[in-house]
Structure 1
Amino acid sequence: MEKSRVYLNGYMAAGKSTIGVQLASALGFSFIDLDKFIEEKYFMSIASIFEKEGESGFREKERDALQELSVFENVVIATGGGTPCFYNNMDVIRHTGISIYLKTPMDLLVRRLTQNNSQRPIVRGKSEVELRSFIVQALEYREPFYLQSDIVCISEDTLTTKNLIDHIDSFLKE
């Protein structure tokens, strides 16, 4: 593979971490979840950073961490759901690797977030109707950034590592 960095973009629960681990393994790359990288770097949970420094403080840390990771070699990076939407993060992503938007159907996002909402403070306690409305509103803002990715791939439960590698190979041949 020509490019040694693959970025996975998409909304929370799109499957970036799950498929990212599998893709990294198939490519012989390392896998890094940007949010976990930030937590380890600052010895704080994302929720604690938000609580202590607000979203602007978190987004600055996120930008700095992305810049740091953008020089790593042979790596698959799962970005946070909002990462591409702030500062010049999408430019960094596009210029330093191959970017893939895992576009996930609404029903699947709702199902995944409903099943795991206790792990995500931003959606905790929301009814299915509230959750759907929340996602629609977030995607109205975020999707134009996600769509700047090199590859747009429908992320469903049937998405395989082989599908992603085929998309990457096709992109590199263009």
Structure 2
Amino acid sequence: MTRIFLIGYMGVGKTTAGRELAKSLNLEFVDLDHFIQTRYNKTISQLFEQFGEEGFREIENKILKEVADFEDVVISTGGGAPCFYDNMETMNAAGTTVYMKASPELLSERLDLCKEKRPLIKDKNKEELLLFIKENLSRREPHYSQAKIIFEADELVNREDVDKYVLLIIDKINNTQIL
């Protein structure tokens, strides 16, 4: 039975790498945010609007505990998921956690290209976005760093990089002998 949780800041590539990682290991793939949206038939933004952040985080915690019981799966979490309730403890107890770590500058570059889709950052200019990411990362780092594996993802840029990084993630997982 294998459970791999990919954590890290929004825009780092958890979903993209997670899909490929699952395919390479012949596992199922679950994007936690997508799973929540399907379950509640609402977007994450709509859930935030309806329940506020606290209500959304309760939903996220409940669904995370549900998917943490799935077998033979790679789970990509939302960027904030590891930072609330006992979510990191839940993930670490259930399987292998991999923190996909990237610099604020790289994350800012990536997120600036798709910020309209992300309510927390859609109205920020480049300077505000970089500052926002730096502040959030400093608050989240203590949670993220509890992952069993920390994986530097600064060079994860294109399709070839994804394939290469998936092999590196598999190698790191195998070398830690957690699976």
Structure 1 match to 2:133: 135
Structure 2 match to 1:110: 108
**Aligned mates of 2:58, 2:177 — CA distance in 1:** 32
Question: Any unmatched runs of 5+ in structure 2?
Answer: none
**Aligned mates of 2:107, 2:141 — CA distance in 1:** 14
1:161 to 157, 160, 166: 166
Question: Any unmatched runs of 5+ in structure 1?
Answer: none
Deviation (angstroms), 1:152? 0.3
Deviations 1:61-112 (A, max 9, x none): 0000000001100100001101011000000000000000000122210111
Paired residue secondary structure (2:146):
coil
1:12-31 maps to which residues of 2 (within 5 A)?
12-31=10-29
- One-letter amino acid of the counterpart of residue 89, structure 1: N
TM-score between both structures, scaled by the size of structure 2? 0.93
Percent identity, aligned pairs only, is 42
**Aligned mates of 2:4, 2:112 — CA distance in 1:** 28
**Aligned mates of 1:64, 1:14 — CA distance in 2:** 24
TM-score between both structures, scaled by the size of structure 1? 0.96
Paired residue secondary structure (2:11):
coil
Runs of 4+ in 1 over 6 A off after TM superposition: none
- One-letter amino acid of the counterpart of residue 162, structure 1: L
Q: What is the root-mean-square deviation of aligned Cα atoms in Å? A: 1.3
Range with greater deviation from structure 2 (89-98 or 164-173): 164-173
Paired residue secondary structure (2:119):
coil
- One-letter amino acid of the counterpart of residue 145, structure 1: H
> Does residue 156 of structure 2 align to residue 151 of structure 1?
no
